[in-house]
């Protein structure tokens, strides 16, 4: 038993050493949404939101900071609004925000507060970007909230404020392809992927013979014979979403990455890459790819 745990620990350390990719919301180019990226939190000393706004918008009385702000026409009236990306610090932490909010105000100081879903409205070093995703020439607000931990999971939300009617149009906990599967004979893993609209129904066998030695040591296989039939793979939520103009039509799409783990959390066996496009007021999957890790 001690030998088994030692092997598993060493395996986890080895795989974890490869790490995870950091958030990349768009490419650094003159046409990428980085033109409208809200000023980096790491480049400024955070400013507390003034007491007048805290009272006006009924925010918590303590630890409300302006993470970023940007002027842009986000409601489509032809005039710029100020978009505030706000965070409530968790105690004295400089990187973890217990709750995150969006505040939009017009030139006359009239505005409204957008609260994120309560089950995922906090995160480490939250980020936001403005980009036209719906194709109406009015930028949406894309929010990323890293959850922390070795899983590399990031919650994403996209809001439109068109006509001053804020609406959540993307929730990474909801808008995601279904991934399932299990280990098969001869060091293979069966992976099944289905998108919510039923357009894609992909099944593939992933060759994992390069992990023969460790899988045999862990008792999952014995010379190619599966010792634990029915052992399932572990699909993870999103670890990265890029905001890109993937089809060069002037409107931005989402390039989403999901990790698939094998026998342990550190056993990354594949990555699912999904392209999402907003079409006729709904998300459509335009491409699904699988890359072996």
Residue 201 is encoded by which pair of tokens?
């129904």
Look at residue 231 and tell me if it is in a domain: yes
First to last CA, the chain: 28
Specify whether 77 is located in the same domain as 163: yes
φ and ψ at residue 23, rounded to 5 degrees: -60, 135
In a domain, 7, yes or no: no
Q: What is the pLDDT of residue 56?
A: 95
SS3 210: helix
What pLDDT score does 44 carry?
Answer: 54
Give me the pLDDT at residue 150, please.
79
Q: Does residue 98 sit in the same domain as residue 70? A: yes
Closest CA to 109 of 39, 51, 52, 37: 52
Please tell me whether residues 142 and 209 are part of one structural domain.
no
Do 144 and 189 reside in the same domain of the chain?
Answer: no
In a domain, 19, yes or no: no
Query: pLDDT at position 283, please?
Result: 97
Together in a domain, 250 and 134:
no
**Do residues 164 and 201 both lie within one domain?**
no
How high is the mean pLDDT in each 10-residue block of the chain (293 residues)?
Answer: 40 36 37 41 72 94 94 97 96 89 96 94 95 97 93 96 97 96 97 92 95 96 95 97 96 98 95 97 96 92
Within a domain: residue 161? yes
Q: What's the pLDDT score for residue 193?
A: 96
- Both tokens of 123, joined, read 């995160």
Range of the domain at 87: 33-171
- pTM, 2 dp: 0.84
Enclosing H/E stretch for 212: helix 212-217
Instruction: Tell me: do 137 and 250 sit in the same domain.
Output: no
């Amino acid at each position: 038993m001690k030998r088994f745990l030692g092997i598993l620990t060493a395996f986890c350390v080895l795989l974890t050493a490869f790490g995870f990719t950091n958030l990349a919301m768009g490419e650094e180019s003159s046409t990428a949404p980085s033109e409208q990226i809200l000023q980096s939190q790491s480049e400024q000393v955070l400013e507390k939101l003034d007491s007048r706004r805290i009272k006006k918008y009924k925010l918590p009385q303590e630890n409300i900071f302006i993470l970023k702000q940007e002027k842009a026409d986000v409601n489509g009236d032809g005039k710029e609004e100020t978009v505030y990306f706000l965070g409530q610090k968790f105690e004295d932490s400089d990187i973890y925000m217990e709750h995150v909010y969006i505040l939009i105000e017009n030139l006359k100081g009239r505005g409204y507060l957008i609260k994120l879903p309560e089950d995922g409205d906090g995160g480490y070093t939250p980020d936001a970007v403005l980009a036209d995703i719906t194709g109406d020439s009015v930028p949406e607000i894309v929010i990323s909230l890293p959850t922390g931990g070795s899983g590399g999971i990031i919650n994403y939300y996209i809001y439109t404020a068109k006509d001053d009617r804020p609406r959540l149009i993307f929730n990474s906990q909801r808008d995601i392809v279904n991934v399932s599967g299990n280990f098969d004979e001869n060091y293979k893993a069966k992976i099944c992927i289905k998108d919510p609209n039923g357009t894609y129904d992909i099944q593939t066998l992933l060759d994992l013979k390069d992990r023969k030695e460790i899988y045999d040591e862990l008792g999952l296989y014995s010379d190619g014979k599966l010792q634990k039939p029915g052992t399932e793979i572990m699909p993870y939520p999103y670890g990265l979403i890029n905001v890109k103009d993937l089809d060069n039509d002037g409107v931005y799409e989402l390039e989403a990455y999901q990790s698939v783990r094998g026998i342990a959390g550190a056993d990354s066996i594949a990555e699912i890459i999904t392209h999402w496009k907003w079409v006729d007021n709904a998300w459509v999957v335009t491409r699904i790819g699988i890359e072996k890790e």
